[in-house]
Amino acid sequence: MTIKVALSGAAGNIGYALLPLISSGYIFGSKAVELRLLEIPEAIGSLAGTKMELVDCSFPCLTDVVITSDPLVAFNNADVIILVGGMPRRKGMARKDLIQANTKIFSSMGRAIDEVASSDVKVLVVANPANTNCLVALTEASRIPTKNFCALSYLDHQRAKGQIAKRLGVPTNSIKNVTIWGNHSESQYPDALSCGYCVDKDGKNVPLSDLLADDKGWANNEFITSVQNRGKAVIEARGLSSALSAAQATADCLKIWLVTGTKAGEIISMAVYNDQGYYGVRDGIVFSFPCECRNGEWFVKEGLQLSEFSKNKLNITEEELLEEMAAAQELIGSSPMKIRSVSMSTCSSVASLATAATESDMSVYLTSRM
């Protein structure tokens, strides 16, 4: 079985860093992969060079690389679609204009997915504004279950772990279950305390609420703003937005969602379609929640006790997402944006990936993360 993976924006910075992770087996283990690289016509020439490089890498699992500027070609029977291409924010561009420019793009992506993708396709949206782009695409792709879509908030999740680890002087990977709530934007709420913990030297899980008990001022202030502004800090230092870490987070999110699942007792942050009003958040928007993944599906982890402080933070980011939805709606013209119900996807090539994840796939994954 060959997994057909479509990547939009493949000639961009994130695309270039992501292609080896898709092609080398990092995400899908030993499964054969056929790549469809989607770009605007002006970037097709440079993609031809990237294709040469992919051939020269001799990745054993990469069976074919198709370059196209037609979403119907890229998405035809696709099992996994990663949407990285979009309109960047230009100097002086109002946020509403950015949302509307991307609404046009993601509306046509959604229609193409609806027309030709595998009925079990899994779609990860990376391009900003990621949550609302994802909402627009899934609204247009009414044939595909909403559960098959998510937007990337896992980079923010990893950034949050990094900040806490630095504060506590422990390895980043010992920090678990931080949560990013809401939008992938500066209104997001990075939450260390609701269910975060640290695996100590003896393998014991120590709640971050205990470890940061005397440092709540930091956890409720600088920690939050440092994660919210991390993307900006990278741009200021590098002159370019995060690409290496964004590609890594994209690959890890796909791997955990579709292949390995989350480990027992662990969650990851994923921006998913809220059709259940989880945690009192308005349904009908794509919102980042703590999620568990099993058998190629995500499940919002329910039942966390949120403080009043946290609830207020959720309201702020929810408000921004509702504004973004309204701006997108002006263009799409559906009022209100149709609320879609979740239906379970049926088993096909991607669903079977999760069950086919072998011990050796896991060990490849674990060693490569060290």
Ligand X SMILES: NC(=O)c1ccc[n+]([C@@H]2O[C@H](COP(=O)([O-])OP(=O)(O)OC[C@H]3O[C@@H](n4cnc5c(N)ncnc54)[C@H](O)[C@@H]3O)[C@@H](O)[C@H]2O)c1
Say how far apart CA 9 and CA 16 lie, in whole Å. 9
The nearer residue to ligand X, 60 or 88, going by C-beta atoms, is 88
CB of 319 to ligand X, least distance (A): 20
Tell me how far CA of residue 172 lies from CA of 164, 166, 190, 195, 244, in angstroms.
8, 8, 16, 16, 17
Q: Which stretch binds ligand X (CB under 6 A): 80-88, 137-145, 187-195, 312-320?
A: 80-88
What own/partner pairs with CB < 8 Å and gap ≥ 24 does 65-69 have?
A: 65/34, 65/35, 65/37, 66/34, 66/35, 66/36, 66/37, 67/37, 67/39, 68/36, 68/37, 68/38, 68/39, 68/44, 69/38, 69/39, 69/40, 69/41, 69/44
The nearer residue to ligand X, 183 or 262, going by C-beta atoms, is 183
Find the binder of ligand X among 88, 171, 217, 265 (CB under 6 A). 88
Query: In the window 179-238, what residues touch ligand X (CB under 6 A)?
Result: 184
Q: Please state at what angle helix 44-57 crosses helix 13-23, rounded to 10 degrees.
A: 30
Query: In the window 291-350, what residues touch ligand X (CB under 6 A)?
Result: none
Q: Which stretch binds ligand X (CB under 6 A): 123-131, 310-318, 347-355, 357-365?
A: 123-131
Task: Tell me if 128 contacts ligand X by CB under 6 A.
Answer: yes
Find the binder of ligand X among 3, 5, 65, 105 (CB under 6 A). 105
Known catalytic membership, residue 184: yes
Q: Which of 157, 184, 230, 340 is catalytic?
A: 184
Find the binder of ligand X among 3, 6, 7, 11 (CB under 6 A). 11
Find the binder of ligand X among 5, 6, 7, 8 (CB under 6 A). 8
Find the binder of ligand X among 6, 14, 19, 33 (CB under 6 A). 14
Torsional sign, CA 268, 225, 276, 104: negative
The nearer residue to ligand X, 9 or 290, going by C-beta atoms, is 9
Q: x/- contact string, 148-167, with ligand X (CB under 6 A)?
A: ----x--x------------
DSSP 3-state assignment of 7? Answer: strand
CB of 71 to ligand X, least distance (A): 7
Q: What is the DSSP string of 198-220?
A: EE-TTS-EEEHHHHTGGGHHHHT
Find the binder of ligand X among 5, 208, 243, 251 (CB under 6 A). 243
Tell me how far CA of residue 249 lies from CA of 71, 103, 169, 331, 341, in angstroms.
24, 24, 23, 31, 28
Task: Tell me if 40 contacts ligand X by CB under 6 A.
Answer: yes
DSSP 3-state assignment of 2? Answer: strand
176 with 198: CB under 8 angstroms?
yes
Task: Tell me if 127 contacts ligand X by CB under 6 A.
Answer: yes
Write out the catalytic residue numbers. 184
Contact positions vs ligand X (CB under 6 A): 8-9, 11-15, 38-40, 43, 84-86, 88, 105, 126-128, 130, 152, 155, 184, 241-243, 246
